[in-house]
Chains A and B, each alone.
Chain A
Amino acid sequence: MPDATGLELIGQELGSAVLDTVFFRERATLVIEPDSVRDVLAHLRGEGYAFMASLHGVDYYPEEPRLGVVYELLDMARVDRISVKLRVHSQAPEVDSAMPDRPGDRGWPTAVHQEREVYDMFGVVFRGHPDLRRILMPEDYEGYPQRRDFPLGGEPVTFTYNDPKRPPATA
């Protein structure tokens, strides 16, 4: 991991895109503006973090902005990891997709399935994603299951006191 000073230096280089730097348990996290995600990723790729290990979503219910997207980047040459986190409001959950190529910036093809999963589970819409459909739930499912206010669901467990088929005890 970049140590605390390294993280601060990266944060300064990125300037206004960075909202916060967190160095917790030897792990570095940059919290950035949602709109600047492509620029931040491109800059970090230039720094050497060229491998995107994971792209996943979080729900910070009930604090707003509620939906977070976390990008785990890995620098294989220097064996360094850094996390990039952004948070979007649940009213306007839109983020630029990391997948498509841009002029001057290669895309991250590994983001295809992972962004679809974040869309499926949290409802974050990725602008520019070539095929944003649900990936794990059936495509016409309603609701975003991994949001914290979505009920867990499941079958009720029947015990003797709430078994509908059992005749009520007499006396």
Chain B
Amino acid sequence: MNPVDPERLRVRELGATQLLRGAEIEGRTQPAHLEGEELERHVEERVMTTTLDKAVAWARSNSFFPATFGLACCAIEMITIVASRVDIARFGYEAFRASPRQADLIILSGRVSIKMAPIIRRLYDQMLEPKWAISMGACCSSMGVFNNYALVPADKFMPIDVHVPGCPPRPEALMHGVLKLRKMVQDDPDSSWRERYGAVGTEEALPGA
């Protein structure tokens, strides 16, 4: 609902004992000494879920499948990131997939024009959850060099997780952006727009369906 409270973030750092004591249960001011049934249920809910969540987030963050989606000049630097100097395969993201159904990371590289915006939105909707979007370059993050009638900033029509500034950003800068996304997915997946807006995801709205 609101930007994540630092207090809630610290919840995850609590040691096992405090977890077991139920210190973070809402509304309680004193640690509750749970016993028996309650304690078991509490342990199941908290500890197992947290560890499983962490494992899944670790796996997801280390195997993004970017979509081959290049628009303009930033696409050149995005293609350079696949080449050997700044090797995106070091991190495991070399499997670029052309079909949006098989990709989970869309890197909007380049300027988004009026004609292209609904198409990008449709592609993003066709991607399956969980999915992330990186807005690469100044033109899609803000209007960039061209503040005119023909461009749409990406935030206006789709939710973006990481903005990478630059015109075009160096391949190292884009790599930094991807790694920031990785850190975000690994450590703190709930700090994205989904948690903030209470949204589940986006889906493709088929015409007449």
Contact = CB atoms under 8 A, between A and B. Distances in A.
Asked if chains A and B come from one complex, the reply is yes
A145 B151 CA distance: 13
Size category, A interface:
10 to 19
A155 B115 contact: no
B114 interface: yes
A157 interface: yes
Nearest to A155: B143
B148 A138 contact: no
A38 to B, nearest CB: 33
A152 B114 contact: no
A22 interface: no
Dominant SS at the B interface? loop
A41 B150 CA distance: 34
Nearest to B115: A138
B150 A157 contact: no
B115 A153 contact: no
Interface string A144-157: 01000011111101
Nearest to B118: A138
A155 B143 CA distance: 7
Given A145-B149, A145-B150, A154 B143 contact: yes
A137 interface: yes
B157 to A, nearest CB: 13
Contacts of B147: 152, 154-155, 157
B153 A155 contact: yes
B142 interface: yes
Contacts of B149: 145, 150-154
Contacts of B115: 137-138
Nearest to B149: A153
Interface in B133-170: 142-143, 146-151, 153
A103 B92 CA distance: 64
Contact of A137 (B114, B142, B146, B151): B114
A155 B138 CA distance: 13
Contact of B148 (A141, A153, A157): A153
Interface string B94-117: 000000000000000000001100
Contacts of A141: 114
A30 B153 CA distance: 43
A155 B142 contact: yes
A151 B150 CA distance: 11
A167 to B, nearest CB: 15
Nearest to A146: B149
A16 to B, nearest CB: 41
A150 B147 CA distance: 14
Contacts of B114: 137-138, 141
Contacts of A157: 147
Most buried by A among B146, B148, B149, B150: B149
Interface of A: 137-138, 141, 145, 150-155, 157
A-B CB proximity, top 4 nearest: A153-B149, A154-B147, A154-B148, A138-B115
14 contacts: A137-B114, A138-B115, A141-B114, A150-B149, A151-B149, A152-B147, A152-B148, A152-B149, A153-B148, A154-B143, A154-B149, A155-B142, A155-B143, A155-B147
